Amino acid sequence: MVNFNTGQIHDLMSKVDNIRNISVIAHVDHGKSTVIDCLATEVSTILPAKAGGGRYMDTHADEQERGITIKSTVIPMYFKLSDDQMEDISTKEHGNGFLINLVNSPGHAELSSEVTAALRITDGALVIVDAITGMSVQTETMFHQALSELVKPVVMINRIDHAMLKAEFSQEKLYQSFARVVENVNFSISAYQGEEATGNPIVSPELGTVAFGSALHGWAFTLRQFAVRYSKQFGINRTKIIEKLWGENYFNATTKEWSTKSADTSGNRQDRAFNMLVLDPIYKIYELAMNSRKDEALAFAAKLDIALTSEERDTTSKALLKVIMHKFLPAAEALMEMICIHLPSPKKAQLYRCDYLYEGPTDDESATGIRNCDPNGPLMFYVSKLLPASDMRRFYAFGRVFSGTVSPGMRVRIQGPDYVPGNRKDLHIKPIQRTVFMVGRGVTDLDHCSAGNIVSLVGIDQFLLKSGTLTTSDTAHNMKTIKFSVSPVMQVAVGVQDPKNLPNLLEGLKRLSRSDPCIHVSVSESGEYTIAGAGELYLEACLSDLENDYARVPIIINCPVVNYYETVQATSSLTCMSKSANKHNRIYMQAAPISDELTKAIEEEEINPHGDAKERARRMANDFEWDSNEARKIWCFAPDDKGPNILVNSTAGIQYLDEIKDMCCGGLQAAAHSGPCAGEKIRGCRFNIMDVVLHADSIHRGNAQIMPTMRAVIYASMLSAKPTLQEPVYLVDVQCPSSLNTSICSVFSHRRGQVIEVNTHSSSMCNVKAYLPVAESFGFTAYLRSATAGQAFPQMVFDHWSTMNGDVTDPADKINAICRAIRKRKGVGENVPTYGKYHEL
């Protein structure tokens, strides 16, 4: 560890070519924490100089005393490349000292919300993959996000020790396993080739973008290191030999000749170069050390030029193994080298990420500033997350300077997600109080921070919701808001025993919801608070944060429940009509389903209420088979003006219709939040207004008459159009011994699951992929464990919404039972109504 004073930190921050902002993508089981620990202990973590060193430190003694604990943070590291390694770096003018900001996302990292926030402010990602099982479903999801954010990946294949010792892989099998992982990663990448700006993000060991190792035992390597070693030995150019060390290249130890075939001319087996030159020494060290052949091990180490101190020589077996391997192939060095050489500097990355990141025109001053990573340009700062301070009341605005320089006292424009240039909505102009550099548990005040760096700002949190853009340019547009891939499929209601704690609960919920971008907190009419999130485990973690950190009052937690959507399966069997309360106004309507593709397109905001109606109509006609005349008569999307339900005005020439348009839309917005069957949200429905009769006197066709009528007729038309529910479905990945394969399949079938893929990747292990309704996932992990004697562990990611078949109105049907249960919970009459309740004659 090295202590840097503020001046030195500033110096590092100004050398933008030598900065690497990286995130880590990994599944927890694959050794993410060990890798990070390994890096953090081996490399110089930058710590602020102790008292007296930094002139700002003393002013915030209170913070020092309390020991700021921050949930998600950056680990800044300092690493010096050797001159030899510098050869592979294209821009050298900033010397060979590198500042690596590793944005760590502890906590429920496997649930990707924190990772998504981290990806935005980093340019490269270290993807950690298990040598045996390959990418997990969750890693894959995150990996896709990284690619869509134009973050360049490098891969580390981890847990080789596990493959060698526990699974007893042979050298060739290990190679095959590596090759398969690399192939999978590249397959994933090529599936995302749409984003070509990063150039060619394909990873390969020959290029040095794949590292192999065991973080647990402290070692890792890239082919580059072996190439350096062997280029001396064989006297071959390093770049040439690196190619020989991977793929179908074989070396004949007797003839000392290279070939591309696994057998020589006389038919003798030749060893793969990778196995022989790379894996063999490693296997040998493991064998000697683990089998207590200490002298041989030491001799072999000496042969490899590994110098050991006398103390180290005294260790045995595993400790000895670690010492030797660590000296032989130091993990931190290999990874750091890979990161510094192959991941882009902010300057390089912003050049191609700019167009993706910035919503405004590509040639205004802000875009130019971002593209050039210009410290003298207008300030462009993206706040990716609000980090709760230790008192859990205020937040640090955590993010990255993309252009310009930020300093305390600076007045900045704080632009929220609804900000439109030239308008004052969602805009605040406020000074920044402090600019702080977060290091683990502490903060250091900085005088300024220039483009390309990751910092936290103090004093502007009240003006930010979850993320936002800060700028000094009047003309700047927003930086693109991060899309989070987590859907709130499960929710839990919370409350307090003593009503006087309500304000605390509410404050806590607000804080929770602001600091976690994937949590949806909502309040029902009845004053009940619900937290919706991606799954059971996630909600549990959030609830404990809420109770202990944010609200700090005892809370009552109800059982988690699954969120459903209501939809229809057919066109209404008749044109429904409802009358207003005064019987003077009538609305006639039919409901019909919207195709899955269009529903998704609306949810992903490809089809949205903004922009030119004609353009949208053309797209809907071309891509989704809509009648373009009808598509032009779309009145609104719902809920929240952007959801996947559409109100279409199919009438012509009706007097006063313009006047009630807003009211009709309002009626749909309200109805879409709570459908007729179970009061769940409506999804994938279109509502056609067929005819309208209005009273001639405007006071009798006011809001109070139209809105409830609209809601009633929407309910009637849905109930006459084969209404049903959509339930969320998880994609489950189970890794288990092959022998358990069948019992796992039967576990799934018990729980309405559907096995889609069984992947055997070695004689003993296999992966089972299956769809599992979220409703069946409660306690699934425990159930699976007991069914397999603890040998199988599932990972679940939300995959899609599945329309349930059946008849809502049939009391014998399962859907009806679900509806009744939801209705009971919500305190509305248990019976699902028929359309007759809302349809009038």
Residues making contact with another protein (CB under 8 A): 416, 418, 425-426, 428, 462-465, 495, 497-503, 506, 509-510, 513-514, 520-523, 525-529, 581-584, 653, 655, 658-659, 661-662, 693, 695-696, 699, 702-705, 707, 841
Nearest to another protein of 465, 561 (CB atom)? 465
Tokens for 58?
């003393």
Query: Which has the closest alpha carbon to 6: 446, 315, 463?
Result: 446
Query: Which has the closest alpha carbon to 705: 689, 694, 691, 721?
Result: 694
Place of tokens 């890693």: 139
Nearest to another protein of 428, 752 (CB atom)? 428
Nearest to another protein of 6, 415 (CB atom)? 415
Q: Please, which residues have CB within 8 angstroms of residue 613's CB and are 6 or more apart in sequence?
A: 632, 634
Q: Which helix (H) or strand (E) holds 522?
A: strand 520-523
Q: How far is the CB of 556 from another protein (least distance, A)?
A: 10
Nearest to another protein of 183, 418 (CB atom)? 418
Q: Please, which residues have CB within 8 angstroms of residue 746's CB and are 6 or more apart in sequence?
A: none
Q: How far is the CB of 746 from another protein (least distance, A)?
A: 43
Q: How far is the CB of 624 from another protein (least distance, A)?
A: 23
Tokens for 405?
């320089």
Distance CA 379, CA 407 (A): 10
Strand 124-130, strand 271-272: pairing: unpaired
Nearest to another protein of 15, 633 (CB atom)? 633
Nearest to another protein of 812, 841 (CB atom)? 841
Question: CB–CB of 671/687 below 8 Å?
Answer: no
Q: How far is the CB of 415 from another protein (least distance, A)?
A: 12
Q: How far is the CB of 529 from another protein (least distance, A)?
A: 8
Q: How far is the CB of 117 from another protein (least distance, A)?
A: 18
Place of tokens 């953090």: 40
φ/ψ of residue 78, rounded to 5 = -115, 130
Nearest to another protein of 575, 738 (CB atom)? 575
Place of tokens 């559907």: 754
Nearest to another protein of 703, 764 (CB atom)? 703
Q: Tell me the residue type at 162.
A: H
Question: CB–CB of 495/556 below 8 Å?
Answer: yes
Distance CA 516, CA 549 (A): 13
Nearest to another protein of 600, 661 (CB atom)? 661
What strands lie across the sheet with 395-403, from one edge to the other? Answer: 427-431, 411-415, 468-471, 380-388, 395-403, 454-458, 434-439, 442-445
Distance CA 313, CA 583 (A): 95
Distance CA 259, CA 496 (A): 74
Q: Which helix (H) or strand (E) holds 692?
A: strand 685-693
Q: How far is the CB of 211 from another protein (least distance, A)?
A: 42
Nearest to another protein of 232, 614 (CB atom)? 614
Distance CA 44, CA 382 (A): 27
For residue 548, give the DSSP letter: I
Nearest to another protein of 173, 826 (CB atom)? 826
Q: How far is the CB of 840 from another protein (least distance, A)?
A: 11
Q: How far is the CB of 381 from another protein (least distance, A)?
A: 18
For residue 837, give the DSSP letter: G
Q: How far is the CB of 616 from another protein (least distance, A)?
A: 14
How many CA atoms within 13 Å lie on the side-chain side of 318? 4
Nearest to another protein of 62, 498 (CB atom)? 498
Distance CA 397, CA 387 (A): 6
Nearest to another protein of 494, 797 (CB atom)? 494
Nearest to another protein of 303, 510 (CB atom)? 510
Q: Is 768 helix (H, G, I), strand (E, B) or coil?
A: strand
Nearest to another protein of 166, 583 (CB atom)? 583
Q: How far is the CB of 704 from another protein (least distance, A)?
A: 3
Q: Based on the number of CB atoms within 10 Å of its own CB, is 141 exposed (0-12), middle (13-18) or buried (19 or more)?
A: buried
Q: How far is the CB of 500 from another protein (least distance, A)?
A: 3
502-514: burial string, b at 16+ Cβ within 10 Å, e else: eebbebbbebbbb
Q: Please, which residues have CB within 8 angstroms of residue 263's CB and are 6 or more apart in sequence?
A: 269, 270
Q: How far is the CB of 465 from another protein (least distance, A)?
A: 5
Distance CA 136, CA 727 (A): 24
Q: How far is the CB of 498 from another protein (least distance, A)?
A: 7
Query: Which has the closest alpha carbon to 223: 237, 202, 244?
Result: 244
Q: How far is the CB of 424 from another protein (least distance, A)?
A: 8
Place of tokens 């006398």: 310
Distance CA 235, CA 256 (A): 13
Distance CA 260, CA 816 (A): 65
